[in-house]
């Protein structure tokens, strides 16, 4: 059996029928095939054009979405920076208020600069007393304990009791003098802890040994210690 060729009826108006009848019988099917092929090709091009427009819109939307993400990221970064600035301003205001209160307490000693060498000499004299008595110096922050073993040529030799070795820690006079200069640069009576000396151990030794230095909150202030 031969393959079955599907058939379709075509309805034409009178004018098109006249034209149809003038066509050679062998050309009619070829003409229809060309018409269908042209239509199909045109339809594909139209679909491709519509798809291209859709792709362009999607590309634009993706770019806009990326821009929105960047804007949100920037907004979030600025929000964080704003909160940091707000916190910094609030903390600064608290520090200024605290500094003012402490200065009121130290009014008799306010704006009093010091002879650096004399200041260090007072520390060395006290260090010799500690070396003789073997008085324990306690670091309240780190819960460490120290003993001054000796003082030679203004160098203080510390024994950290938690260390198993016999190696001593040296406290040299130059960093001591630098801390006193920092205190003088701030008026001589009040300075923030981290501005006095970067070394917690040097701060501990200086404040411990000098008769008029003591900690007040996050500050080091010049005022007589109780019992001195």
**Same domain, yes or no: 112 and 216:** yes
**pTM, 2 dp:** 0.52
Q: Do 116 and 147 lie in a common domain?
A: yes
Report the distance separating Cα 54 and Cα 61, nearest Å. Answer: 10
Give one word for 188, left, alpha or beta, with left for phi > 0 and alpha for psi -120 to 50. Answer: left
Residue 92 lies in a domain: no
Q: Where are the beta strands (DSSP E) in the chain?
A: 136-139, 144-152, 155-160, 169-171, 190-192, 213-216, 219-222
- Mean pLDDT within 92-99: 65
Average pLDDT rounded to a whole number, residues 41-49? 60
Computed from CA positions of residues 67, 73, 75, 77, in that sequence, does the dihedral angle turn out positive or negative?
Answer: negative
Tell me, yes or no, whether 126 and 178 share the same domain: yes
**Do residues 163 and 142 lie in contact, with contact meaning Cβ atoms separated by under 8 Å?**
no
What's the pLDDT score for residue 94? 67
Please give the tally of structural domains in the chain. Answer: 2
Within a domain: 134: yes
Q: Could you give the 3-state DSSP secondary structure of residue 56?
A: helix
CA distance 17 to 134: 128
Any domain includes 162: yes
Highest mean pLDDT among 84-98, 104-118, 180-194: 180-194
Q: Are 228 and 212 in contact (CB under 8 A)?
A: yes
Considering only residues 131 and 31, tell me which one the structure prediction assigns the higher pLDDT: 131
Q: Residue 46's domain spans which residues?
A: 14-87
């Amino acid at each position: 059996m031969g393959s079955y060729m599907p058939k379709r009826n075509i309805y034409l108006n009178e004018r098109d029928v006249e034209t149809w009848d003038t066509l050679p019988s062998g050309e009619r099917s070829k003409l229809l095939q060309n018409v269908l092929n042209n239509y199909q090709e045109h339809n594909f091009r139209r679909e491709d054009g519509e798809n291209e427009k859709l792709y362009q819109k999607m590309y634009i939307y993706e770019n806009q979405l990326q821009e929105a993400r960047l804007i949100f990221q920037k907004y979030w970064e600025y929000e964080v920076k704003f909160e940091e600035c707000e916190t910094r301003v609030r903390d600064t205001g608290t520090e200024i208020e605290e500094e003012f209160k402490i200065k009121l307490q130290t009014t008799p000693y306010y704006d009093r600069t010091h002879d650096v060498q004399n200041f260090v000499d007072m520390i060395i004299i006290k260090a010799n007393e500690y070396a003789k008595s073997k008085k324990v110096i306690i670091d309240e922050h780190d819960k460490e304990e120290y003993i001054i073993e000796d003082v030679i040529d203004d160098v203080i030799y510390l024994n950290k009791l938690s260390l198993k070795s016999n190696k001593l820690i040296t406290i040299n006079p130059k960093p001591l003098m630098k801390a006193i200069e920092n205190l003088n640069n701030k008026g001589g009576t009040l300075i923030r802890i981290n501005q006095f000396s970067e070394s917690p151990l040097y701060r501990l030794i200086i404040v411990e040994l000098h008769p008029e230095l003591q900690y007040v909150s996050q500050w080091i202030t010049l005022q007589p210690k109780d019992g001195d």
